[in-house]
Structures are given as structure tokens and as C-alpha cells.
Amino acid sequence: MIKIKAINKISETTNLVLIIDSKTFKKSVYLTKEQTDAVKNAIKLEKKQILFNNGESHIFIILQSGPINWEAAEKLRKMGAKICGVAIENKIDSITIVANDNKSALSTAEGIALSSYQFLKYKSDKKKLTHSLSEITILSEKMDKKSIDNLNVVLQATFIARDLVNEPQSFLNALQLSEEFKKMGKDAGFNVEVWNEAKIEAQKMGGLLAVNKGSKIPPTFNIMEYKPKNAVNKKPYVLVGKGVVYDTGGLSLKPTPMSMDYMKCDMAGSAVVAGTLYAVAKAELPIHVVGLVPATDNWIGEDSYAPGDVITMYSGTTVEVLNTDAEGRLVLADALHYAKKLNPELVCDFATLTGAAVRAIGPYASAFLGTANDEIKQDVFDSSYEVFERLVEFPLWDEYADELKSEIADMTNLGKGEGGQISAAKFLQHFTDYPWMHFDIAGPAFNHVVDAYKPKGGTGVGVRLMFDFLSKKASK
């Protein structure tokens, strides 16, 4: 895992990233006369980047002007992705960033680091495939240590979340997911309690049990808690994540091409929850956070639950299951009901919940819906710009709940089709009685092509967002 450090001296053979203000540039101690002229020329031509090859070392020039707002920060992350590519191609192991301000250095470092992710667990020739880049240093005398430490922590948590999503169900079944949470808890310092099947049955978590019926592997219900003595909050922030380790659709079977084949990603919500707890605990943020993950696969077996079945949820609500592929809402509903006991300040759930969210906005944003007040929503939107994990808000109109009316039970698990991300959220809302925000991450959780610093496969979307959001809550 790549490491970012602050330094106050550099050697002559260092590979450099120079972030230059194109409005004020005159010269730089790192550039020769010819290079300085080349930079001035590039500024005239309104270029955004130049690369000098000094033989032993490289100098990447980023030409930037104006304030480092969220748009400029995102451009720097994307520039970081390009730099990472060149660095790896040239077998560079260390890069030093020199900038006028810490924010632009940190954003560039973040982009380079996020692009350096590799998932090699199942490759035989790991050594040969592991790239060279292992260190990013930032030349700065007044870099605040906390900013660097927290960036390293959230990057590590994002990489763990990506790893979890990239793991196939042949390894990462519900039991193994709980083992991974326990390892994370031990490493970062948060508590992990795992309910086994007997406990889940005794508690009558009917949604989770119904989805698990066709499986050979028992479900788990995972409760993670980070409660530092100096917590600023009396009531916990609760994060809930969909932990469907694989979604075949059940008896309402998914077609394989472009549908079932990526469904190892259906536990990405749980990766956000565990990843965020990991980062919060490692950074020792003074904030009380609880994570809840109902985990199972949605398999087919002789005992599978079937369309038409009526199940009784943990809350006592009866649900007529009209489609076994709408399983995420069933397992989440039980966790959302459990959250009521915790007297939460706010509950945020993360789920690869609907194809409708993907059809609405593709991989570029999460669908967002919630009952939290406008101030909290504004805070999460601010964080979403800060880390560039965009959200698009959809309304929780009651018409979408009407679609869930059942002839024979309290409700069905299936909306009418259009706006499926909304009817799914209306289903979840039924099981909440607290300020709540729902993130349908079905689009951005798993990439089918590389997108700058977001790799193919698991992206870890949600972890940077929640860490930023909770960091700000912790410092209020």
C-alpha cells in the first residue's frame, strides 16, 4: 500500500510533481533555463500539463490557476491518475510533490494514491505484477500532520473496501465477511459482534432469514461499534450496509450477461460501513459510530423463498414477496428496524439496491433519498463535493409507497417499475422512525471500465464521503 509523507528537504534525483500557478509563474529552482522557457510557452498555449524527462528523473508539471475549490481539487486528482500511469510505466518508486499550497498537494497525492490500487490476490505472479510506486512525499514546512495521517487512513480504508468488493463469493461468503470485519475491528480498534443463524432466528429477523433460505451458508448479522470516551455525540451515528455477498436473483433468476456476472459487488454497501468504521477508528475521531450489516447470499436451493410468499419481518410487518430479486430491501429493513433500539442521531444506509438507480444516473453518482433535515442533507452534499462522490437526490413521494400495497399482506417488496430506486427507498422508509439518509450506490460501486483514479471493479465509493462527513461532525 502506497504511503504519503511530508518532508522538508529533497534530493536532486527525486521525481518531482511541480504544481505551478500559471498566472504568476516566473521561475523555479527545480527547472533549468530551457525548462522554464518551455513552461512559459506551455502557459501561453493554455496547456494543463508538461512532462520533462531528466534521464534519471522526471518532472511532471501541473499548470493550475485560480482557487483550489472542489472542481480544481478534482482536476488535480485526475491529473494524479495520469502521473501514476507515467510513474508506473517508468518503474518509478517515489514521487515528491511541490506546490504553493497544501490543499493542491494533498489532492494530487490523493489522485496518485487512489490510482495505484491493485487487486492481485488471485494472480500467480504477484511479485512481477506489483508496480513500483510505493511512496509519495509532499515538500512542505507547514503541513499539518493530521491531514496527512487522515488521508493515509481513508485511502487504506478505501482500498480495503475495494478488496472486499473484488473478492468473489467463492471466498467471501457471509461467514467470511464477518471474519473480515473482525480482522478490521482488531486492526483499527472497534468492536465487532456477530450474530449467528440461531440468534438471528431467535430474534425473528424474517427478512434476512427469507433471503437466506435457498443458501447452503448461514446468514450473519454484524454489529460494529466504535465508542471513544471523548465522543462529541450522545446518540450514535448508525451506518447500515447491504451485505448480499452474491445476488443470483433467487427464483426470480437474473440473466447472466450484464446482470448476474457482477453480483459479487452486492455487498459493496457493507464495505462502505466497515471501511468507514475502520477509518474513523484508525483516525481516532471523537465520535460514536455503530455499523450494522445483515449478510447472506441470495441463492437458489430446494428451500428458496418464492414469489408469492408472505414473510414476517423483524419489525412484525408482513411482506408479500413478489420478486425474490428485490432482496436487498428485505435484509436492510431488518437492520433498519434494529437501529431504532440504538436511539440514533442519524442513520445512513448504503446499498447496491436497484438497477433503476443505475439507469437513472449511471456510474457517476449515487441516488440519494432521506428524511434527515435540510441542514444534515446540506452537510452530506458539501462532503460529496469535497471528495467528489456525487449524489443526486430523489423525492420520497407517497405515490411510490402506494405502489407497494398488497392484497393479502401489509406491503409487497415490488414497485411498479419506473422510479424503482424511489419505491425501494419507500419500502425502507417504512422501517425507520429516525432521521435517515439512503444511498443507492448500485451505479458507482463497481466500474466496468477504468475511470481516472477509480479502477475497474470495486471503487470503494462511500468511504471517503462518510469519513469526510463524520470528521466534520466530530470536530463540531
Catalytic residues: 254, 329
Q: Which is nearer to ligand BES, 193 or 410 (CB)?
A: 410
Closest listed residue to residue 77, CA positions, set 128, 37, 123, 115:
115
Q: How far is the CB of 119 from Zn ion (least distance, A)?
A: 22
Among 74, 197, 266, 345, binds Zn ion (CB under 5 A): 266
Among 110, 320, 325, 345, binds Zn ion (CB under 5 A): 325
Burial class (CB in 10 A: 0-12, 13-18, 19+), 398: exposed
Residues forming beta bridges with residue 350, ordered by sequence position:
241, 439
The C-alpha atoms of residue 33 and residue 27 are separated, in whole angstroms, by 9
Say which amino acid occupies 206.
G
Stretch that binds Zn ion, among 97-105, 245-253, 270-278, 395-403 (CB under 5 A): 245-253
Q: Which is nearer to ligand BES, 332 or 342 (CB)?
A: 332
Q: Which is nearer to ligand BES, 258 or 408 (CB)?
A: 258
**Between β-strands 15-21 and 58-64, what pairing exists: parallel, antiparallel or unpaired?**
parallel
Among 214, 243, 269, 328, binds Zn ion (CB under 5 A): 328
Q: Is 440 in the site for Zn ion (CB under 5 A)?
A: no
Q: Which is nearer to ligand BES, 98 or 360 (CB)?
A: 360
Q: Do you know the residue count of the chain?
A: 476
Q: Which does 442 bind (CB under 5 to 8 A by kind): Zn ion, ligand BES, none?
A: ligand BES
User: Contact 93/127 with Cβ under 8 angstroms?
Assistant: no
Q: Which is nearer to ligand BES, 50 or 353 (CB)?
A: 353
DSSP assignment string, 49-84: EEEEE-SS-EEEEEEE-S---HHHHHHHHHHHHHHH
Q: Which does 196 bind (CB under 5 to 8 A by kind): ligand BES, Zn ion, none?
A: none
Stretch that binds Zn ion, among 104-112, 241-249, 430-438, 466-474 (CB under 5 A): 241-249
Q: How far is the CB of 358 from ligand BES (least distance, A)?
A: 5
Binding site for ligand BES (CB under 6 A): 247, 266, 323, 325-328, 352-356, 358, 414, 420, 442
Q: Count of alpha carbons within 13 Å of 118, Cβ hemisphere only?
A: 19
User: Contact 13/57 with Cβ under 8 angstroms?
Assistant: yes
Interacting residues with Zn ion (CB under 5 A)? 244, 247, 266, 325, 327-328
